[in-house]
Amino acid sequence: MDRFLFLTLDGLSRGAVYAAFALALVLIWRAGRIVNFAQGAMAVAAAYVAYSVTAATGSYWLGFGAALLAGLLLGAVVDIAVMRLVDHRSPLNPVIVALGLVLLIQAVLGMVYGNEYLPAQTPFSRSALTVGGTAVLSPYDLFVFATVGVVGAALVWIFTRTAIGLRMRAAAFAPEVSRLLGVNVGGMLTLGWALASGVGALAGMLVIPTELGLHPHAMDLVFVSAFTAAVIGGLDSPPGAVVGGLGVGLLLSYVSGYAGGDLIPLAVLALLMTVLLVRPGGLFAPVTARRV
């Protein structure tokens, strides 16, 4: 029972990160109907910026802030310099371009930092606190919950309570009408990319220390897990992404706790295949018929 409790809490902490990363995917999907396959590589790039800043200044928090800033900037740059120029009529094109970005970003990181695992710092201890003899959460897990909670609340506030959030939703919902009404649709799209990439960078900062460390390919499997989470929730639904993220985190924690950590990749693939076969639209999407 103790073990079950520990695995559940550990899974929720892992799931919170997947939820944040899935949220980033959902944000871009809602803004521009693109699944950003370069999200993982962009998050790793931000994490490397944090590594450099932390190494130069000795402060984790300066590095953390730099990563968020780098994430926001990278998202805006990717939209303005690349995605805007792509012909979006074929759904294949943005996907292929995003994969080109993956290759490019990973190669540049490998050139600058080398293809070895670098140690990633945590601001708080990762050893679990014990309550009444039972190992429960570590301070770092609490930090993860708090950060993801704050980011989620901030996103909800931006999109539902501010004028800029309203404009962003309008630009995504009806671009032509919004443009007629004076909304800067392109600018809103860039802002969406920046926000999503910032959230992705945050998720990367949170998850990389709990895995093997900093590496150009560090987020490959995390991306697949988060994509699975986003699909479970339905790519359109932010609450769905959060629920999907927590669910995937729990499942992977149970698999690695009871069956062995080696099986995690297989579990992710099996879960993704099952979801796509049973409910391709996700648990939270209304059922729609596909025209064939």
Partner 1 sequence: MSATRAAARPGRATAVESTRPRRAVPTLLRHLAVAAGVALLVLMASYQLDSFRNFQLATVAAYLCATAGLTVLTGLCGQLSLGHGALMATGAYALALTQSAFAERGLIAGGWLIVSLVVAVLATVVVGAVVGVVAARLRGPYLAGLTLAVAVVVPALTVTFDGVFNGEQGLPVPVAPAPAGLGLYFPHERWQLWVAAAATLLCLVLLANLVRSRYGRSFRAVRDDEVAARLAGIHVARTQVIAFVVSAASAGLGGALLAVLAQRVSPGAFGLTLSLFLLMAVVIGGLGRLAGAVWGAFLLVALPDLTHSLTNLFTLSPAAAQRLEGNVPLAIFGGTLIVVMIAAPGGVQGLLSRLTGALRARWPVRRS
Q: Considering the complex, state which of residue 93 and residue 121 has its C-beta at the smaller distance from partner 1.
A: 93
Burial (CB < 10 A; 0-12, 13-18, 19+), residue 62, is middle
Contact 10, 74 (CB under 8 A): no
Figure out which of the listed residues 5, 55, 104, 177 binds partner 1, where binding follows CB under 8 A.
Answer: 104
Residues sharing a CB contact under 8 Å with residue 288, sequence separation 6 or more, in sequence order: 281
CA 176 to chain centre: 29
Nearer to partner 1, 145 or 254 (CB): 254
Nearer to partner 1 among residue 108 and residue 128 (C-beta): 108
Asked if 212 is part of the footprint of partner 1 (rule: CB under 8 A), the reply reads: no
- Among 80-88, 162-170, 181-189, 198-206, which window interacts with partner 1 (CB under 8 A)? 80-88
**Per rule CB under 8 A, is residue 235 in the interface with partner 1?**
yes
The H helix count followed by the E strand count for the chain is 11, 2
Nearest-approach distance from CB 145 to partner 1, in angstroms: 27
What is the SS3 assignment for 130? strand
Between strands 130-131 and 134-135, the pairing is antiparallel
Whole-angstrom distance, CA of residue 232 vs CA of residue 278: 10
Residue range at the interface with partner 1 (CB under 8 A); choices 4-12, 165-173, 228-236, 242-250: 228-236
- Choose one: 28-36, 122-130, 156-164, 249-257; the region binding partner 1 (CB under 8 A): 28-36
Q: Is 102 exposed, middle or buried (0-12, 13-18, 19+ CB in 10 A)?
A: buried
229 is a site residue for partner 1 (CB under 8 A): no
Binding site for partner 1 (CB under 8 A): 29, 34-35, 37, 82, 85-87, 89-93, 95-97, 99-108, 110-111, 114-115, 217, 220-221, 223-224, 227-228, 231, 235, 262-263, 265-266, 268-269, 272-273, 276-277, 280, 290-292
